[in-house]
Amino acid sequence: MGSNIKDLDPLSEIKALAEIITSSIADIETSLKDTGRTYPSPHIAHSRPESESGRNILEVQIAGAKIVAAASQLIATVRPPPLTMIANALQYHLSTAIRIAIVTHTVEILRDAGPKGKHVQEIAKPTNVDPTKLARVLRLLATNHIFVEVSPDVFANNRLSSVLDTGKNWEIIVNQPADQKYEGGIAFAALLEHFIDEGFKSSSALVETILPSEDGLSKTPYKTAFNRAFKTDSPFFDWVEHKEQKLRLTRFAAGFAGGSTVAASDTILDGFAWTSYPEGSIVVDVGGGVGSQSLAIAKAHPQLSLIVQDRAPVTLEGIKLWKQELPGHLESGRALFESHDFFDRQPPRKVSVFLLRMILHDWPTEDCVKILKHLRAAADNSTRLLIVDNIISYACHETQTKDICGALRLPPQKPLLPNLGQTSVLKYYADLNMMTLLDGQERTVLQLNELLERCSWKLIEVSYGDSFSVSQSKAIAVPM
């Protein structure tokens, strides 16, 4: 069966979706009862984000995921198709408006104003932008529940806009170089700026890149939509390190080091039997950056020996981090940083676990084959390969992976899409972002299984975490 909805007539579908929303609201109410936690409205105007602790309850997350899926499907059902398609086609203006709010430091300027807000004349003054144009931008955002228009041309922060706040004084930000905005501050907005700047501009060239042409047939990180948009022959990761891209490099590093709130470092501990490995077992974190994931593993499982591999400049930064966080591991040799290119052979050693976290999605399939074959050559029969990535689902039912432990998920209730639609949409945006910037991809279980088999690895288990939308999935493979 290709869909959950073909057995329902439109009116029955509307009623079923409404019932899902109503019952899920009741589930949230029950879960929050007697906890003292809240589920606040985005329309509340305030200068600081309200507590999100209520959303951390698993039952609340599950109910919320159903509401998002049902509400978005309900909108698609009742809204006239031309209006839906026009609204979707013009969505790029919303991305641009978010970036304008970031670069004009609107959130920081509004922070101290509280619920009463500030007139756009005051908001625009520090960056000398046209207040009339800024008001139109902020009004579009407020219409999408980002900021609140308290009275004509008077705007205030709300829960959504407040996640863009660096926490720094706006006067300091305005008077320092742009590449220092996120130093000593919260960097979530840096991540969004990367998406809206490099990602959005590159996406505009994706149509020409994907059509049959030399670039469209290319499977390399040298002829991507990014390369076409920015007129460069350098792969993205090389280009962003060019000296003239200092602002973008600083922003990119800040956004991915501390700006993303969608995946806590300790999620690496779930879904894998770390406790089963005895004293001295070696875990190699391949392309592990500064070792933030290995740091979480080391703190929770001190019996393990960690080797973090990456480029030499990155490993130097990693050593600095570990000297602050866990110096004893470095001093004892329990943790080691190793300069290594994962396209080269692995040093000979007995490895218990190879960890590939958010690596394979960066690369085209043939490059992934090179990485995985090197790891397979270095593995013995007891070695496990742990892949942490955004494993995506098909938008239809799929049963071909039924023999892989954990691969099949229980289908959601009708008439929701099998992948829960908008609840999981971030992974599909990420997939196109990988295609656009790197010619990489987020893979389905079937695609990952096929890739691993080519490299003599057998996929034996998949775990998705608690949510369709934000959890990085885990896949475990053994040598064939």
By annotation, the residues acting in catalysis are 361
Burial (0-12, 13-18, 19+ Cβ within 10 Å), 110: buried
**Taking the CA atoms of the chain, what radius of gyration do you get in angstroms?**
24
Single-letter amino acid code for the residue at 421: G
Six-digit token pair at 136? 């139109």
Check: CB of residue 29 under 8 Å from CB of residue 54. Answer: no
Single-letter amino acid code for the residue at 341: D
Handedness of CA 108, 114, 120, 126 (dihedral sign): negative
Check: CB of residue 311 under 8 Å from CB of residue 341. Answer: yes
Rounded CA-CA distance 18/66 in Å is 11
Rounded CA-CA distance 433/77 in Å is 28
Six-digit token pair at 359? 């690596």
Q: Which residues contact 183 (CB under 8 A, 6 or more apart)?
A: 254
| SS3 state at 27 | helix
| SS3 state at 364 | coil
Q: What DSSP state is assigned to residue 257?
A: I
What is the DSSP annotation of 156-187?
E-BHHHHTT--SS-HHHHHTS-GGGTTTTS--
Angle of the 365-378 helix axis to the 445-454 helix axis, nearest 10: 60
Q: Identify how many contiguous H helices and E strands the chain contains and give both numbers.
A: 22, 10
Check: CB of residue 397 under 8 Å from CB of residue 411. Answer: yes
